[in-house]
Chain A
Amino acid sequence: MRQKLTVAALGLAFGLSTSAYAASDNWPSYGGDSGNTRFSTAKQINTTNVSKLKVAWALALGSTRSQESTPILVGDMLVVTSSFGPKNTYAVDARTGEMRWSYQPDIPAGIEQFACCDVNNRGVAHADGKIFLGRLDAHIVALDAKTGKELWKTKIVDYTQGSVITSPPTIAKGLVITGYGGGEYGARGSLVALDQATGKEVWRTYTVPAAGEPGSETWKGDSAKLGGAVAWAIGSYDPKLNLVYYGTSNPAPWAAAVRGNDSSDVGKYTNLYSASVLALNADTGKMAWHYQFTPHDAWDYDGVNELVFADLPIDGKKTPVIMQANRNGFFYVIDRANGKLLSAKPFVESTNWATGIDLKTGLPIEAPGNVKRPGLKRNAKDVCPNLLGGKNWMPMSYSEQTGLVYIPAQNLCMDMEGIQEDYKRGSFYLSVNFDLTKPAPGGYLSAMKAWDPVAQKAVWVNKDTNYWPGGAVSTAGGLVFHGDLKGHFKALDAKTGKELWKFSTGSGVAAGPMTYVLDGKQYVAVVSGRTQTIPAFLGPIGEKMVAASPEGGTMFVFSLN
């Protein structure tokens, strides 16, 4: 509505942060709001008329690899990034797609070798008239939102240790907060807060304790020094509690025997704070609480998936929670004020590395006899989910209208041995003894699941015979939008999952879509461009993935007229 636009514009003019937690028909940050709900109150496009949705305009992204970006609305501009750097950041008129400005940084040559898993980028953040983005060379950059001019640039960490940045930073008051990658290369994780105005570092909180610090006793020998536990994905921020939430990755090295008991008899070697969610005080970076999803991880079950806010009735009381669909196949509901585990159930039914999560201790009940735990010279077979997870980075959405969480879920198992043959110069061969393509019961490789987070069960499931599903957005118009590997972008009835509209974008869609209202008109936007690196891990399934659609890089924006 015009009124809302004026308020937003005023907000920009006076430097007020426009990313409040409350859902709106605006889209000021990656996840729609600072709680990453990906829910929009916009209802102009709804179940009765979505079948008439058509392309309003499109924007090529200037790179054709693994597009993962969710654009954000800044005033009357959409700001979107491409992969590879980001090679291009474009700010375009959100009504017409007309170019306002673009940003093309110099990305060092050969950066691919430091990006374990792809040279992707998931978008930008905005606050105080500035656009903030993270680069593969592990810098955070601030751009003038009006002109795209670079205002400051801060190095977070040395990217040659394998630490590229692929996610937008998190806005919290006057700070911009980021993590980085490198868990596979033994980087030591940290979260870093910079002053929005100057780019100066305000605090840095390591995710792995140094020798002598509390928590360091959870690592064997000196393994904490290069312990991984990086926070490479998306953060959430609760302005009332003043807490920033990030998930951390797997511990390093893969060989668990180096950092602990290499068995489900974990003992003290839990490897904190890997595979955990951390709640940090936004002003100081001090850890308020943590919860570890996968102690002494041996499966590469990163705990980095987005932490989505909701107010759920728990024991009759409305409780502010975070919800996460973890790589390890469990859906966690945690009190976001104090970190108390409220419930945890498998959202992918084939999950078998653990039979459940003990609510009293918070610990997983692992399959007995280490039969599903890879270890040194111990090959665990048919472990579900595989290391790509029951859900990967592709984002889920929580609809306050239906009360359901829409999860892009995956369903494959793996054989894995707990040792990674290292890269040796002259015999170029980095092998990990795993097969990620073991079939899982259920008859599907991926699915869009509508999940009741209170009852902890699926309400409806749309199965797909392809892997690598697209992220979701849900709206007050009663719709869920998401893409798939073939490049279809679909609108579903949020209550039933029935497909109401579909558009073929021509290249796989994994990125999270978004929606916004401008001048009284609602638009839906999504970026299309198939993943390039994931198929390489998946043998014949990967070949199917490559055949499913060409690579691409285009943002499509839809409206009713």
Chain B
Amino acid sequence: MPLATDPLSPETMSDSTLPCGRTSSRPLFSLKTVSRLLTVASLMTAAASAWAAPLRICADPDNLPFSKSEGAQRGLYVDAAELIGRELKRPVEYVWWQTFNQRRALRNTILANACDAVIALPATAEYKVRGVKKSQPFMELTYALVAPPSFRFESMEDLRGKQVGVQFGTTPHIFVNTAEGVRSTTFRTSDELLQALSRGEIEAALLWGPVAGYENKSRFDSRWKVTPIAGPDFASQVVIGVRSDQPNLAAEIDRALVTLKSELATLAQQYGFPTGPAIALDPKWREPVPVAVAPATVVATAPTAQPVSDDAAARAGRVRFNSQCSHCHGTDSITALRERDLRRLKSRNDDRWPEVALTTIREGRPEKGMPTWKDALKEDQIQEIISFLRTIQK
């Protein structure tokens, strides 16, 4: 699924639904009856909207940038809840509960019928809560690299030899401490981490993107560049959890989320969440890139000779692929999702496959979530990726 901030995702704006009580243009009844019906209908409408059951949302009272029970900035989830309430034409009420113990929080809020929906829960299929139905994913949250704008970060190679700060117990903490060539310093809190960056004790910091972006914007005058990091370990989608006994609400919320897609993206930007192309941190990055070898199935009588520089191109292409593409296609395009498995390009398209790949990379497949890359990648960079793809065809 493309990032919420992907500018290429289709924007859908549904028409707001008409209030009930609107009659058709051809009167079926006498004018008197119609006006009486209208009066009754509009009274009902007024009454309906007057007593529309509040939408009760559970959230953490002290969890900026996501939610806060008081203060000028209420947090992205609270703002999102207001938008959803507007779409559903229901006032929103909040049930506050600290979420550091998520099981207890769920048990005491949504599962105790104290609220109707909780924002937000992990989208991952492994995460299940009995009694809670998950909406469609509405946002992707990622880790991010925070660094001065002058710090070059186009791939994980750029971290080699640099002093990188990480927060204890986070995925990047594990990543940099198991990767060769990255000097890391560990801090207990995100605040200590950003202060160290401020003082120049570290050259870059890896921490949770929403926190990084929000702090950068609100406390550090947006002095840093915050780059999102992609990859299964570093990015995760979130959903809204709805009580299973409210299937109508779940469907309504799903519809509202589609409607609100761009407004949610705007909110994320307002809160400083990292935007822009994500860099993938491949846990295998420290392994030497193998010399490009033509797979055994390649027909030796292919008329076009391999370019002399193919090895170097494939190497570069692999690095770029694993940086830009692997978060959907998998590292080295090893994925269980057949439709994304680019090792099958040749078996699907025969000898036309490099053409197909070229076109698809340039133009994208927006309806399927594949972004358009022709503006983001130079032509020779796309060719390098294809050189790499050549080495992995089945």
Contact = CB atoms under 8 A, between A and B. Distances in A.
B174 A427 contact: no
B220 to A, nearest CB: 17
B75 to A, nearest CB: 9
Given A423-B100, A424-B236, A428-B105, A258 B173 contact: yes
Contacts of A185: 168-169, 188
A40 B231 CA distance: 61
B174 A257 contact: yes
A113 B99 CA distance: 9
B169 A422 contact: yes
A254 B236 CA distance: 21
A186 B76 CA distance: 29
Nearest to B106: A428
A428 B173 contact: no
B174 A226 contact: no
Contacts of B173: 253, 255, 258
Of B76, B121, B174, chain A has the most CB atoms within 10 Å of the CB of: B174
B102 A430 contact: yes
Nearest to B98: A113
Contacts of B122: 427, 429
A536 interface: yes
B348 interface: no
A425 B186 contact: no
Interface in A134-190: 161, 185-186
Interface stretch (B177-185, B339-347, B372-380): B177-185
B100 A424 contact: no
Interface in B92-135: 98-105, 120-122, 127
A420 interface: yes
A425 B63 contact: yes
Contacts of A225: 186
Contact of B120 (A222, A255, A423, A426): A426
B177 A426 contact: no
A425 B174 contact: no
A221 B65 CA distance: 32
Contacts of A423: 100, 169
A426 B66 CA distance: 6
Given A220-B177, A376-B178, A429 B171 contact: no
A426 B60 CA distance: 9
B132 to A, nearest CB: 13
A222 B196 CA distance: 15
Given A223-B186, A426-B120, A427-B120, A419 B174 contact: yes
A222 B185 contact: yes
Given A161-B188, A221-B177, A427 B236 contact: yes
Contacts of A259: 177
B357 interface: no
Given A253-B169, A420-B169, A424-B236, A258 B121 contact: no
A427 B236 CA distance: 9
A223 B168 CA distance: 9
A424 B186 contact: no
A110 B98 CA distance: 9
A349 interface: no
Contacts of B249: none
A420 B233 CA distance: 11
Contact of B168 (A186, A262, A419, A536): A186
B208 interface: yes
Contacts, number: 94
B319 interface: no
B228 interface: no
A465 interface: no
Nearest to B118: A428
Nearest to A161: B188
Of B105, B121, B208, chain A has the most CB atoms within 10 Å of the CB of: B208
Nearest to A112: B101
A425 B189 CA distance: 13
A431 interface: yes
Nearest to A221: B177
B382 interface: no
A425 B66 contact: yes
A428 B178 contact: no
A426 B238 contact: yes
B177 A425 contact: no
A53 to B, nearest CB: 38
Interface in B168-208: 168-171, 173-174, 177-178, 184-186, 188, 208
A24 B304 CA distance: 94
A449 B323 CA distance: 57
A421 B174 CA distance: 11
B224 interface: no
Interface in B55-69: 60, 63, 65-66
A259 B77 CA distance: 36
A70 B188 CA distance: 35
Given A113-B100, A536-B103, A425 B211 contact: yes
Contacts of B77: 426
The 10 A-B pairs of least Cβ separation, nearest first, read A428-B99, A426-B66, A258-B177, A113-B100, A186-B168, A255-B174, A428-B102, A429-B122, A257-B178, A422-B170
11 contacts: A253-B168, A254-B169, A258-B173, A258-B174, A422-B169, A422-B171, A424-B236, A425-B66, A428-B63, A428-B121, A429-B102
Given A113-B101, A419-B174, A422-B169, 9 more contacts: A221-B184, A253-B169, A255-B174, A259-B177, A425-B210, A426-B76, A426-B77, A426-B141, A428-B99
